[in-house]
């Protein structure tokens, strides 16, 4: 990926020239640098994979008691849901019953 030296937008390859579609800036290609670039054009579209029934949610687990079933393990993640000057909110998903709850810092 190459960015425009003038406006910072993404440059697009047209023949042997890089062209900025935002401001019109053009620059010549550099074969060695372009060879090192990674593109997604050759990747095949594998479609959407439904992992909603998968046991591993790809999240870390912690020791916390579920208020629904009293299981002692839950997946957790943090998310900023209030203003930026306040702490993030911790969300939990029970590893047994998949009950969801959150814990706020006060």
For the annotated binding site, the residues are 4, 7, 20, 23, 66, 69, 94, 97
3 state DSSP class of 16: coil
- Contact between 91 and 81 under an 8 Å Cβ cutoff? The reply is no
Binding residues for Zn(2+): 4, 7, 20, 23, 66, 69, 94, 97
What are the residues facing 103 on neighbouring strands? 90
Distance, in Å, from the CA atom of 43 to the CA atom of 87, rounded to the nearest integer, reads 39
Phi, psi at residue 54, to the nearest 5°? Answer: -70, 145
């Amino acid at each position: 990926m190459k960015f425009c030296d003038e406006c910072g937008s993404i440059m697009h390859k047209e023949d042997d020239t890089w062209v900025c579609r935002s401001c019109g800036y053009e620059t010549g290609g550099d074969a060695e640098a372009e060879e090192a670039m990674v593109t997604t054009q050759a990747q095949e579209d594998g479609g959407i994979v439904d992992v909603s029934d998968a046991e591993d949610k790809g999240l870390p687990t912690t020791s916390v008691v579920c208020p629904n079933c009293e299981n002692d393990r839950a997946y957790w993640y943090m998310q900023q849901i209030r203003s930026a000057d306040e702490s993030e909110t911790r969300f939990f998903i029970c590893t047994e019953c998949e009950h969801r709850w959150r814990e706020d810092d006060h």
